[in-house]
Amino acid sequence: MPDPESSRWISTFLDARAADLGAARNTQLAYGRDLVDFADWLNRRGSDLAGADRAAVEDYLVRCDAEGLSQATRARRLSSIRQLYRFAFEEGWRADNPALRLTGPGKAQGLPKTLSEAEVARLMEAARTRGRTEADRLRDTALFELLYATGLRVSELVGLPVAAVRGDPRMILVRGKGDKERMVPLSTPARAALASWLAHRDRAEEAARQQGRAPSRFLFPGEGREGHLTRQYFHALVKDVAVLAGISPARVTPHVLRHAFATHLLANGADLRVIQTLLGHADVATTEIYTHVLDDHLKDLVLTRHPLARKTRD
């Protein structure tokens, strides 16, 4: 068992996560198990969370590898440890984060920079069930459906004005880098998720207005200075949903979902110039980075669709 001080660190950290992120019970349990295992391992070595250094964290990860734990589990454990120590640093319990610069398992082999369609489906399902309240679940579902349906940058997503989605639009106007505007179509699941979230949001806003509070102009209101959900909050939310979906959190970021949006469109035959417009890229050369995971698919297209290739087969 961990020493009392380490147990206090873990429980305080998990309570803060639950308060700040509304983390689901299964997610909390996963992080809790990871941290208890690490603290127990340290205790058996005569150390604790307060005294562990980078070498100790590395040794623990080596032990996890030797036990045959999956890459996803080892990546999640490192993520848990890193987040605990970041919290400890912010609280002034430690002067450093010994896990900050450690590389997650599998990096040497090159982790995929995108996700399969099946993995995205698991993320969507996890987003629907993660939150502790109906409001959390509706908001999380809308965030993930909207991000995957549009490929928005995370700053564009969290800062989206509520006026942009009024009236159940088929397309929304997005203001991107350099204040450039573009139109982005919405999928049917994204429109449905937005409608459900918007109805709940509007009821909450009306209740707040009756109490004398000013309504928010953002689709995803937040308590911070900017008035909307922060990028940092959404980044942490994505990690939570990945854990709940059984996917290594090291593989999932808002940008990876943007990447998945582009690569899945390409895999299903979308034109690169169209994807360039949807992503808001000024230069198609930037969009071309999304083709690297589709080499076999594109090669097959050339061999089966090119007119000279068909003549050769005939």
Give the Cα separation of 236 and 231 in Å (integer): 9
Q: Whose CA is closest to 151, among 281, 267, 39?
A: 281
Given the residues 77, 94, 137, 258, the one annotated as active site? 258
Give the Cα separation of 112 and 75 in Å (integer): 14
Residue 264 annotated as catalytic: no
Given the residues 94, 239, 264, 281, the one annotated as active site? 281
CB half-sphere exposure, 248, CA atoms < 13 A: 19
Query: What count of other Cβ atoms lies within 10 Å of the Cβ of residue 282?
Result: 12
Query: What count of other Cβ atoms lies within 10 Å of the Cβ of residue 132?
Result: 14
Residue 292 annotated as catalytic: no
Note whether 144 and 220 are within 8 A (CB): no
Given the residues 33, 107, 177, 203, the one annotated as active site? 177
Note whether 134 and 200 are within 8 A (CB): yes
Given the residues 8, 25, 170, 255, the one annotated as active site? 255
Given the residues 153, 201, 228, 259, the one annotated as active site? 153
Residue 180 annotated as catalytic: no
Could you give the 3-state DSSP secondary structure of residue 40? helix
Quote the tokens at residue 288: 């071309």
Angle (deg, nearest 10), helices 25-44 and 54-66: 110
Residue 25 annotated as catalytic: no
Quote the tokens at residue 141: 């579902």
CA distances from 124 to 22, 115, 193, 297 (A): 17, 12, 11, 25
Residue 235 annotated as catalytic: no
Q: Which helix (H) or strand (E) holds 174?
A: strand 171-175
Q: What residues are labeled active site?
A: 153, 177, 255, 258, 281, 290
